[in-house]
Amino acid sequence: MLNLLFIQFIVVFIIDLSGFVDTIKKKLSSILTNKRIVNADFRIRPFDCSLCTMFWVGLIYLIATHQFTIPMIAFVCLLAITTTITKDIYYTIHDLICKVLNKIA
C-alpha cells in the first residue's frame, strides 16, 4: 500500500507539476504538423490526467505484484480520486518552505 502511495506522489509530480506533459504535447504537435503548429491544447488521455494515469499505473502495479484484489483495487481508486489533494499538498509544502525562507532572509 505504501508503494502505491509513493507511486501517486510521483504521478502527480510528473503529470500536474513538472510541465513534462505539456512539453511532450508541444513536441508531438510539432512533429505531426511538420512544425506548422506547436500547441499543447489537446488531450492525450490517460497521459495528461493524473487521475487516469494513477488508476492505470496502480492497476498495472497490482497485477505485477499479484495483489489484484477488490480491496486493493478500491485503494487504487481512492488514490486516483485524491490526486488533486496531493497536488494541493505539494503546493502547500512549497508555499510553507518559501514563507520560512523569506522570514529567515
Tell me what the pLDDT averaged over the chain comes to: 93
Number of domains in the chain: 1
pLDDT digits (tens, 9 = 90+) for 33-76: 888 878 778 888 888 899 999 999 999 999 999 999 999 999 99
This prediction's pTM: 0.85
Per the listing, cell 507511486 goes with 7
pLDDT digits (tens, 9 = 90+) for 65-84: 999 999 999 999 999 999 99
pLDDT digits (tens, 9 = 90+) for 6-40: 999 999 999 999 989 989 988 888 888 888 878 77
Range of the domain at 10: 2-104
- Residues with Cβ within 8 Å of 36's Cβ and at least 6 positions away in sequence, in order, are none
* Cα distance between residue 79 and residue 18, in whole Å: 19
Q: Which amino acid is at 29?
A: S
* Cα distance between residue 78 and residue 16, in whole Å: 18
